[in-house]
Chain A
């Protein structure tokens, strides 16, 4: 178990490393630069800007600088400028005080080219929580709809419940977010005026976007739950549970359902990746100030550090989630051994 986790973590860093190289090269090969404007800037200005952001250095040097700023922690002595304190995601005061104050700083994703006063970390602080809330709300909706729907369909197999439930599920899988989101937005926001049409703030802003995003995955979870519960219900231990006279309710909830959810747990990793993808579209449609919308505009604007930062951040989160899912999997099903 320990060996497995260590290996996975090492592998995780290698994946992140490869992703960072590929993205960096890909990005630098996109024609046009961050300072290409429709109305051309003077050559001298561009030169100055390139110098300021170190864009005239060789690509390898730029890459090493960039990665170095992220992974190498550094200790700074003296009072920090307020902006420098915020450039780093992790900033821990160590011993000393006043001018002797030592601070450990770690993880700097660099500046954004679009604004002189903000860093990529500022953008993360502002936008990432929004996307996170949206994603979590969508995931909860997906589970809250998917699991009961799948359970009902499996328990009442080949009845009207099964057909209706699976019919809904196949509809859900087939309706892409780019269609359901505008339809829901139009009906609930514009036509009936029940929720705000665009924007972000209180709970009512989140309901429709989260539902639009979560429904598709609810359908996937429902199908998976149904298939897995049907299989579990044929197992010997279910027969044993029934034979010793347990109430049907206890058999289903306590024995069958718990085990049938193991496959559902295993798809949480890919599901989260899909949710991230979905937030890009949903945030654009509903004008939600999250990471996805910001990322789409920064690709058009060649804002290299924002592009890199977002990709690495998401890749990091997904790798962590996948690791946790694997560990949860082993814990839920003791028959699984990874060594």
Chain B
């Protein structure tokens, strides 16, 4: 948040003479926490994170993946608070470990798609011309195909080679998790690329960029040192919302049987178990469904809060 934000803070300080000068970050943080919905969102998300972390202290992952065919489709009771699934696994512990995977998928897919989207938007907007035309045509082409079709096909194409497991951060997980993260990440960047590009188009004409160039700064320094910090607002908002989108997409894929494969649990593939009979097996979708809803709702509240906090027009 270097040069440009300083000038911006200067303007704010001039307008609000009697107030102490504040940094952009502090203004945004203050506005964010005044936003009632955003605070509720943070609270809800904290609850979900607590559930999947503290919960893990009570059940081991081996227990979550342990099958026990004699206890299959047990309704909730003393031994299994959330019931069991088609092979007798405990749903409560699976929602805990599945939640870790679902959240991890959301965050990593977001990191990939935000990096790709930002980079492509910056390059297309800054360099313009042929590069811009080609990249934007690529964006349009991706937007033309209904994404789920592409994801279904991709996941089937890559999945067969990977009915195995791998070790990530000391945990053994299905390789399908990695596949899902990569394909969601590599298909979800288009709208951010468009937003960043349009911001760069106007930013690169502004005085501070011209000044930087006059002082001999190279392209990469101008892009990453001067333009990127000014695009931070839409990037942060998109990053927040993208986590929710990735979680929903993963659960839809897993629900259709094209997502993460057992034994690794995710909220989506627990829901998949309820597909055969929703009225008899209600406990298979109530718990993971409620968790997905709570998480996505929280993320959307936070995203909205961030958007309003960054928006200079919504001064409260």
Chain A residues near B (Cβ < 8 Å):
11, 15, 18-19, 23, 26-27, 29-32, 170-171, 173-179, 182-183, 185-186, 190, 269-270, 273-274, 276-277, 280-281, 284-285, 295-296, 299-300, 307, 310-311, 314-315, 318-319, 322
Minimal beta-carbon separation of A79 from chain B (angstroms): 38
**With known contacts A182-B278, A322-B144, A311–B161 Cβ distance under 8 A:** no
Closest to B268 in A: A178
A selection of 15 A-B contacts at a CB cut-off of 8 Å is A15-B137, A18-B141, A27-B157, A176-B296, A178-B252, A178-B268, A179-B285, A183-B289, A185-B278, A190-B278, A273-B145, A273-B146, A285-B275, A300-B156, A315-B145
What is the bound-complex CA distance between A26 and B156, given in angstroms? 10
Interface residue B300 (Cβ < 8 Å from any Cβ of A): yes
B252, A177: Cβ atoms under 8 Å? yes
Interface residue B274 (Cβ < 8 Å from any Cβ of A): yes
Interface size on B, residues (CB 8 A): 43
Residues of B within 8 A of A31 (CB): 160-161
Residues of B within 8 A of A171 (CB): 297
Contacts A174-B300, A314-B149 supplied; 12 other A-B pairs, CB < 8 Å: A19-B141, A26-B154, A30-B157, A30-B160, A170-B37, A178-B248, A179-B293, A182-B278, A285-B275, A307-B153, A315-B145, A322-B144
B256, A281: Cβ atoms under 8 Å? yes
A173, B153: Cβ atoms under 8 Å? no
Residues of A within 8 A of B271 (CB): 178-179
B153, A11: Cβ atoms under 8 Å? no
Interchain CB contact (< 8 A) of B148 among A29, A170, A176, A280: A280
Residues of B237-283 at the interface with A, using a CB-CB cut-off of 8 Å, are 244, 248, 251-252, 255-258, 268, 271, 274-275, 278-279, 282
B146, A32: Cβ atoms under 8 Å? no
Residues of B within 8 A of A185 (CB): 278
Interchain CB contact (< 8 A) of A170 among B156, B256, B304: B304
What is the bound-complex CA distance between A183 and B292, given in angstroms? 14
Interchain CB contact (< 8 A) of A179 among B143, B144, B279, B289: B289
Interface residue B140 (Cβ < 8 Å from any Cβ of A): yes
A19, B297: Cβ atoms under 8 Å? no
Chain B residues near A (Cβ < 8 Å):
37, 137, 140-141, 143-149, 152-154, 156-157, 160-161, 244, 248, 251-252, 255-258, 268, 271, 274-275, 278-279, 282, 285, 289, 292-293, 296-297, 299-301, 304
Residues of A within 8 A of B255 (CB): 178, 281
Closest to B140 in A: A15
Residues of B within 8 A of A310 (CB): 149
What is the bound-complex CA distance between A307 and B157, given in angstroms? 13
Interchain CB contact (< 8 A) of A318 among B144, B160, B289: B144
Minimal beta-carbon separation of B49 from chain A (angstroms): 17
B145, A19: Cβ atoms under 8 Å? yes
What is the bound-complex CA distance between A252 and B213, given in angstroms? 48
B251, A170: Cβ atoms under 8 Å? no
Closest to B36 in A: A163
Closest to A191 in B: B279
What is the bound-complex CA distance between A125 and B157, given in angstroms? 28
A176, B251: Cβ atoms under 8 Å? yes
What is the bound-complex CA distance between A19 and B278, given in angstroms? 37
What is the bound-complex CA distance between A78 and B55, given in angstroms? 74
What is the bound-complex CA distance between A318 and B141, given in angstroms? 11
**With known contacts A26-B154, A179-B293, A186-B282, A173–B144 Cβ distance under 8 A:** no
Closest to A280 in B: B148
Residues of A within 8 A of B296 (CB): 174-176
A174, B252: Cβ atoms under 8 Å? no
A299, B153: Cβ atoms under 8 Å? yes
Interchain CB contact (< 8 A) of A11 among B137, B278, B304: B137
Residues of A within 8 A of B146 (CB): 273-274, 276-277, 314, 318
**With known contacts A270-B143, A315-B144, A186–B278 Cβ distance under 8 A:** yes
A173, B145: Cβ atoms under 8 Å? no
